[in-house]
Amino acid sequence: MENERLTLEEMEQKYPDEWLFIVDCEHSKNTELLSGRVLVHSKSRTDIYNASGQYKGGAAIRYTGKPPEGMGYLL
């Protein structure tokens, strides 16, 4: 089923080494992403940013692999 609610672990298994645009997010009390619905997934970060520009509402962007060379995470 597309757009089913997945945990972060399920997203990482289903979409390895991909960028995810996640909506309907559930967070822990300390704002850690717990689950959500993957609206768009792609190997290309540009695809995700294009999708995010067209979406109104709360969402998250996540990369499921190791950060690409020269890129880190901002927390």
Q: What is the pLDDT of residues 18-30, one digit of tens each?
A: 999 999 999 999 9
Q: What is the pLDDT of residues 32-47, one digit of tens each?
A: 999 999 999 999 999 9
Rounded Cα gap, residues 5 and 10, in angstroms: 9
Phi/psi for 10 (5° steps) reads: -65, -40
pTM of the model: 0.83
Rounded Cα gap, residues 23 and 72, in angstroms: 23
In three-state secondary structure terms, 6 is strand
